[in-house]
């Protein structure tokens, strides 16, 4: 089930944004076949396949792309697919003989999706990099952090996943929709640096209107405003306040017992240190759970700061089924939600190559062909 049921995607295994994109498509019902290496790449992290949660919901074939018959096998898979996803540096797929030109020649309807850090062209296109580098050059990292302190990496959410994998998934679905009308495939070029810049659009607009400063930690949404920040509680926990609108701010003062106190106006920046001092002092008088009982569900714009382990247990998540248990691992459920074509709960992440024979057979390979590929070392699993 799912809105993408019937769509077939070939994923050339990688790390980060490519698998995230493939997971999103598989979560929505697409049949995604992950082409893993015969000898898995070493990342310096000893992790069992079941914990590779980004790989959930799809089957895996192990194919050696250094062997001509392995490359030809992937071309045949691409010939039967609606889309292909790859995340190598520019030129790698071309050198393997699996670039857009031969794949589109074999399958003119193919949507060929590629995700890189710097993009397919430009002075930095061939350089190595990671999320932190891409979001730095996009202007995103420099805006995140406390006043007077160095920038704080927001995990790898902005470049790898928001600006990379999610952008590629959006591009793939856009191109698949267009292909359904035109009958023609095309290349989708998703660059993490482009996506990170795009995610900054609202902040760019605020800065253009002189409503945002390049100085970190001095703005409305970066922890500069005392009514949009996280505060420590009596038990060492933290809670968040986001009372931007005036009516919500008034409720905040009332709930904190500060409504009758002579305090600076909400948007008096010169008075922000005083407001922060008072909010911090009051919020330290109760535990995190006590503040939840007092503020949660109100229009104060409040939420506790939960750990990764605590989040699935929160009553709101439990009521919405926002987390699911797959193979004994609690993890986020597919999102977004659909009223008519709700996707099934995905299967867990497979071991690399676990489904090689079954996938090849389902995608048109004869048993004798599969045996020859295994004998030559072109496939594993």
In whole numbers, what is the pLDDT of the chain averaged over residues? 96
Q: Which CATH superfamily is domain 8-199+324-376 in?
A: Crotonobetainyl-coa:carnitine coa-transferase; domain 1 (3.40.50.10540)
* CA–CA distance, 31 with 47 (Å, rounded to integer): 25
Of the options 3.40.1390.10, 3.10.20.30, 3.30.1540.10, 3.90.550.50, the CATH number for the domain spanning 228-232+238-304: 3.30.1540.10
Average pLDDT rounded to a whole number, residues 279-289: 98
Active-site hit among 131, 160, 189, 222: 160
> What residues have CB less than 8 Å from 43, skipping those under 6 apart?
15
β-strands 186-191, 323-326: how paired? unpaired
pTM (2 d.p.)? 0.95
Active-site hit among 69, 130, 314, 317: 130
* CA–CA distance, 10 with 101 (Å, rounded to integer): 16
- CA dihedral sign of residues 126, 127, 132, 136: negative
pLDDT tens across 50-78, in order? 999 999 999 999 999 999 999 999 999 99
SS3 106: helix
Closest CA to 93 of 77, 114, 78: 114
* CA–CA distance, 336 with 319 (Å, rounded to integer): 16
Fold equal for 8-199+324-376 and 228-232+238-304: no
pLDDT at 42 exceeding the cut of 90? no
Q: In this prediction, what percent of the chain has a pLDDT beyond 90?
A: 96
Closest CA to 83 of 64, 49, 58: 58
pLDDT tens across 106-141, in order? 999 999 999 999 999 999 999 999 999 999 999 999
pLDDT at 240 exceeding the cut of 80? yes
Domain ranges of the chain: 8-199+324-376, 228-232+238-304
pLDDT at 45: 58
44: exposed, middle or buried (Cβ count in 10 Å: 0-12, 13-18, 19+): exposed
46-50, 60-64, 153-157: segment of lowest average pLDDT: 46-50
Is-catalytic flag, 317? no
In angstroms, what CA-CA distances link 2 with 204, 284, 313, 342? 36, 46, 26, 5
pLDDT tens across 213-224, in order? 999 999 999 999
């Amino acid at each position: 089930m799912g809105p993408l049921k019937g769509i077939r995607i070939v994923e050339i295994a990688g790390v980060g944004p490519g698998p995230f994109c493939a997971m999103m498509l598989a979560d929505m019902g697409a049949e995604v076949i992950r082409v893993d290496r015969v000898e898995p790449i070493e990342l310096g992290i000893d992790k069992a396949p079941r914990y590779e949660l980004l790989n959930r919901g799809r089957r895996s074939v192990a194919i050696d792309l250094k062997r001509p018959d392995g490359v030809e096998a992937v071309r045949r898979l691409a010939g039967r697919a609606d889309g292909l996803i790859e995340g190598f540096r520019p030129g790698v797929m071309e050198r393997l003989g699996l670039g857009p030109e031969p794949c589109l020649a074999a399958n003119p309807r193919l949507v060929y999706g590629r995700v890189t850090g710097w993009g397919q062209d430009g002075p930095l296109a061939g350089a190595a990099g990671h999320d932190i580098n891409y979001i730095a050059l996009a202007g995103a990292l420099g805006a995140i952090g406390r006043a007077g302190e160095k920038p704080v990496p927001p995990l790898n959410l902005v470049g790898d996943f928001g600006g990379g994998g999610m952008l590629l998934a959006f591009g793939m679905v856009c191109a698949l929709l267009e292909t359904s009308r035109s009958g023609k495939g095309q290349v989708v070029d998703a660059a993490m640096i482009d996506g990170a810049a795009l995610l900054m659009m609202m902040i760019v607009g605020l800065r253009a209107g002189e409503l945002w400063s390049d100085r970190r930690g001095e703005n409305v949404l970066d922890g500069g405003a005392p009514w949009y920040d996280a505060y420590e509680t009596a038990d060492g926990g933290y809670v968040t306040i986001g009372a931007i609108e005036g009516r919500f701010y008034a409720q905040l003062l009332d709930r904190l017992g500060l409504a009758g106190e002579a305090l600076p106006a909400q948007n008096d920046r010169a008075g922000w240190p005083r407001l922060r001092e008072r909010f911090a002092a009051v919020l330290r008088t109760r535990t995190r759970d006590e503040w939840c009982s007092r503020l949660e569900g109100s229009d104060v714009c409040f939420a506790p700061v939960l750990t990764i382990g605590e989040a699935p247990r929160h009553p709101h998540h439990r009521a919405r089924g926002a987390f699911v248990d797959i193979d004994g691992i609690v993890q986020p459920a597919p999102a977004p939600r659909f009223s008519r074509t709700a996707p099934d709960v995905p299967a867990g992440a497979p071991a690399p190559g676990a489904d090689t024979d079954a996938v090849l057979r389902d995608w048109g390979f004869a048993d004798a062909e599969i045996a020859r590929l295994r004998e030559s070392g072109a496939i594993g699993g």
